[in-house]
Chain A
Amino acid sequence: MTLNGYKALPLVAAFVGFSFGASAADLTIYDALDFAPSAVKAFTAKTGVTVDVVEPGSTGEVLGKIAAEGDNPQFDIVWVDGSAVMERMLRDHILQAVPEEAISGVKYNEMGKSLLPKNRSFVPTGASTTAIEVNTKKVPSDQTPKSWADLEKFAGKVAAKDPNLSGPAFQWLAGYFQTNGVDTGKALLEKVLTNKALAGLSSGGKVNKAILTGDAVVGINQDSGIIAKAKAGEPVVAVYPADGSVALPIGLGVSAKTKHMDAAKKFIAFVTSAEGQAAMQAGDDTDFFFMPIIEGVKPKVDRPSDIKFIVLDDVKAASGETEWKQWYKAKFVP
């Protein structure tokens, strides 16, 4: 067949004929938090600084994208649940320590101060925790679990997230090991998570579905998600175990290669201000029910605040991360 340039024409024309220019925003944020667009909108309205909000999916999927970008990161700020992963990214030089001057002006309450890492791998902008999610239609009130150990009574019917895919789930696992000891903690979990079909779910939403329509009756889930579900009318309640719940900071990290540090500092100042915190509470989805850690900022009405919090040792958690995640996958993920 005689060939002419026509074969290449469609390709060339299509590629050259239309153009999609690069974004000219002042700041690029990667996040997995449902209040981020609301906070960004308020920030831009106040400061005039434009922001591109990139939300590829869950915390795990955001982190996967960051890992793939490697030494050429395209974000200025990453904003997700969890602190141990921030420590790890700081070690790998994906993040830089947040500048002292960006934090020094923040008026943290006592809990906020306890969550602030010494190496400034991230700025905490709020917190939540992991609680026991109970379906009140399936579990009589006198049988409601009161501690993590009580979950053994529901073995085979406990839904949980895979810490390999969920930042909050890893935070919980690391905190659980911190309070119980690694070996004892592993032994306890092996007695509780006996149903692999329920023990390695990929998101809090799937834990909710398993509890509401599936075989699970209780679950280990982020409390803000449980509160949002209850508020939407679902028969679930968050139970905070007497032995304590590990605090899950909402962490904001700064890219090691950002060229927009001034804009990043302005954003940190905004989201840690009363005005920024109000924008982060202006909604009814999961993350809007976070626990404020700024002096004088109150939680949303339905959000309990008298919780026995445990603060995670991020350095130890980051050191054990690979081994613990692999152990969990081998034991509980189908």
Chain B
Amino acid sequence: MIHRGLIMRFSNANSLLSTASSMLVYLAFFLLIGLPLTLVVMQVIFPDVFNPNNPNFEMSFGPLGRIFSLPRVYLAILHSVELASLVGVLATILGGAFAVIVQRCDIPWRKTVRIIPWIVFLTPAYLKTVAWVLLMSPGGYLAEFGLLPPLTGSLFFAFPGLTLVHALGLFPFATFIIGNALRGLGSEMEDAARLGGVSLWRIWLKINLPLLAPALALSFIAIFAQVLSDFGLASTIARMSNFGVLTYEIYAATSSYPIDFPLAGTQSLVLLSLVTVAVVADRLLRRKDDLKLISGRSRPSRDYRLGYWGWVVTVMAFIVAFIALILPVGAVIIRALTRTLSEGMSLHNFTLVNLIEASNIHSMAFTALSNSLRYAVIASLISCAAAVSLALQLEGPGKFMRSSVMSLALASVAIPGIVFGFGYILMWNRLPFFKDFSFPHYGDSSLLITGYVGVALPYALIVVMASIGQLAPSLNDSARLFGVGGFRRVIRITLPLIAFSVLTGFILNFIHIMFELPVSQMLIPRTESPAPIYVLRLLNYDKDGLACALSLLSMLIAGGAALILWLGFRWVASRNGAANNGQWISTPSLTGDR
């Protein structure tokens, strides 16, 4: 009896601990994302809640009415939806094609093609916008070479050009998401169909594409949300194209004194709603839970042998790389190596002054860069740990909780960083209780890192949840039957199987945070300012040559750090994989080993 009582008490204590830890994980998610967004959006109906002179909770639906009464606002909504939808489709197709090529096709230069999406992703968005303006302006670099007919320029600074630049910048997201799903797909079903005489096209149409549908939908929605939240192109090419979008409207409402908070809140609510509608529509259309593909028994798929077509595919991949990467990065390199804009590529205009100044380790630029590196490592670690904790937590409860958290994560991707930044200021500087916290504290780097975690968590969560969602329940069930405890099951089964996705999430977040601008601006610490702020300062003060040089250096360092991490992971994975004979060893890697 005593023994039984002890077991029951232990079981109760364990259950209490379990509930407490669950609550803690949900609370962290709420504090990092839910509450800051709520504080911005609540001003839609409580417009004076943060009025510095007369704060009050008087309700008003006036701000909502402005969506329909201000033509520029509803036009901006239409433009944003139009742009995000088209880019979502184009980038998913392009990124999906890249994923299939690098994972399934035996093509020449495969290892090089495999790293193209990563380098495209590594190029900061604000730098790409600077680069495209330098390239395509009437007096830009291409015009200097006579390579820019007038019609091309006018088409570029219009909807088609905007769509192209977005799609070329965002296709890596689709490659990462669809690539992860392809990895889990294995080849059992495909092999079975082949043995049954089914043609390759029908296999893709009837088997692989339906199995990849969740990843394709996720990719579309994530890119749709990304375009909605973009500010870089919204403030440059979109403006030059007379194409007003929501993010710029939000920026305009918040970058002044006094701030039009109610309008910014209303527009943020619209952005949130747009993504939520897309997520809900996806759920309703597919009406099925994601398929559990990773069983631990899947065999790596075989490559398609394309023969001479392989060269065609490789050349097409390099054309994409040329437009998405070589052209913009080339423009940035030229700007970093030249003195003035107007002299363009005249020989006497070339100089090393900018590169020398950017690489001086005692300069403000280099100090800012090292600050950013430190912040990015810490925030990426925390966001990945939080994403894994939350994703594991969400495996337990029903579909509703999982869908809700995933929807909020995706919707928060659509929220511009500037809105997040404002939410954080309102929460940590204005809200009673929170404003008295000494850690994290507004004005210190602790809150900047917290903000980075807030914006990065959704990305890590999307990658990790997509991976965990594919794990077959039988893996855990079998282990449980053998009496393996929850902690050991996570360490020995789940984590090894999702390790690749966690690393992908870490690198994605690391690069994202290194170049994150709006949150850095809003939560800039009083000391130890990050690199994007310094680059912005240089751009604001017309020192775009030095800004380009510093950004190039940042890309090299961030890329180098990511590569070292990757190689380290491979080394650890191969050692552990060899020891455990687990899935790590068969996880396809960035460099092409399968």
Q: Mark A146-170, 1 if CB is under 8 A from B, else 0.
A: 0000000000000000101100000
Q: Considering the chains assembled together, what is the distance between the CA atoms of A294 and B244 in angstroms? A: 44
Instruction: Classify the interface of chain B: helix, strand, loop or mixed.
Output: helix
B residues near A89, Cβ cutoff 8 Å: 257
CA distance A18 to B252 in the complex (A): 36
| Complex CA–CA separation, A44 to B145 (angstroms) | 50
* A1 with B21: CB separation less than 8 A: no
Task: Choose among B72, B139, B526 the residue that contacts A214 (Cβ–Cβ < 8 A).
Answer: B139
Give the docked Cα–Cα distance between A209 and B244 (Å).
20
Contacts of B244 in A (CB 8 A): 333-334
Kindly identify, within residues 327 to 381 of chain B, every residue whose CB is under 8 Å from any CB belonging to chain A.
Answer: 339-343, 364, 378, 381
Q: Is A300 an interface residue (CB 8 A)?
A: no
Stretch of B173-181, B272-280, B309-317, B540-548 with 4 or more beta carbons under 8 angstroms from chain A: B540-548
Q: A20-B445, A203-B540 are in contact. Are A215 and B138 (CB under 8 A)?
A: yes
Contact of A56 with B21 in the complex, beta carbons under 8 Å? no
Q: Is A171 an interface residue (CB 8 A)?
A: no
Whether the pair B385, A6 counts as a contact (CB closer than 8 A) is no
B355, chain A: closest CB distance, angstroms: 17
Chain A residues in 8 Å Cβ range of B341: 208-209, 212-213, 234
Chain B residues 83 to 141 lying within 8 A of chain A, measured CB to CB, are 133-134, 137-140
B91 to chain A, nearest CB (A): 24
**How far does the alpha carbon of A11 sit from the alpha carbon of B17 in the complex, in Å?**
16
Range class of the B interface residue count: 35 or more
Contacts of A287 in B (CB 8 A): 541
The yes or no answer to A179 lying at the interface (CB within 8 A) is no
Contact of A10 with B521 in the complex, beta carbons under 8 Å:
no
Bound CA span A89–B392, Å: 49
Does B398 make an interface contact (CB < 8 A)? no
B524-583 residues with Cβ-Cβ distance < 8 A to A are 524-527, 529, 533, 536-537, 539-544
**Interface residue? A5 (CB, 8 A):** yes
**B-side contacts of A143, CB under 8 Å:** none
Q: Are B429 and A92 in contact (CB under 8 A)?
A: no
| A85-B257 in contact (CB<8A) | yes
Task: Report B-chain residues with C-beta under 8 Å of the C-beta of A225.
Answer: 542
Whether A213 touches B134, Cβ cut-off 8 Å, given contacts A57-B536, A233-B339, is yes
B487 beta carbon closer than 8 Å to chain A: yes
- Stretch from A70-78, A269-277, A309-317 forming part of the interface with B: A70-78
Distance in angstroms between the alpha carbons of A205 and B541 in the assembled complex: 6
Interface 1/0 per residue, B29-55 and A, CB below 8 Å: 000000000000000000000111101
Q: How far is the CB of A274 from chain B (nearest CB, A)?
A: 25
A213 with B429: CB separation less than 8 A: no
Which residues of A have CB within 8 Å of B51?
Answer: 70
- A64 at interface (Cβ–Cβ under 8 A)? yes
Instruction: Kindly report which residue of chain B lies nearest to residue A19, judged by CB atoms.
Output: B439
A residues near B138, Cβ cutoff 8 Å: 213-215
- Name the residue of chain A whose CB is nearest to the CB of B32: A11
Q: Does chain A have a CB within 8 A of B157?
A: yes
Minimum Cβ distance to chain B for residue A1 (Å): 5
Q: Quick check: is B438 within 8 A (CB to CB) of the other chain?
A: yes
Q: How far is the CB of A201 from chain B (nearest CB, A)?
A: 8
Are A204 and B256 in contact (CB-based, < 8 A)? no
For the complex, is A2 an interface residue (Cβ under 8 Å from B)? Answer: yes
Contact B486 A4 (CB under 8 A): yes
CA distance A7 to B533 in the complex (A): 34
CB contacts (< 8 Å) of B442 on chain A: these are: 74
Confirm or deny: B382 has a beta carbon within 8 angstroms of a beta carbon on chain A. yes
User: What 7 A-B pairs come out closest when comparing CB atoms?
Assistant: A10-B385, A2-B486, A3-B18, A63-B257, A52-B526, A60-B255, A70-B52
Query: What are 12 inter-chain pairs, A to B, with CB distance below 8 A?
Result: A1-B486, A2-B18, A10-B389, A11-B389, A64-B254, A64-B256, A67-B254, A165-B252, A208-B341, A228-B542, A232-B339, A334-B239
Q: Which residues of B approach A to under 8 Å, CB–CB?
A: 14, 17-18, 21-22, 24-25, 28, 50-53, 55, 72, 133-134, 137-140, 157, 235, 239-244, 252, 254-259, 339-343, 364, 378, 381-382, 385-386, 388-389, 392-393, 395-396, 422, 425-426, 429-430, 435, 438-446, 449, 476, 485-487, 489-490, 521-522, 524-527, 529, 533, 536-537, 539-544
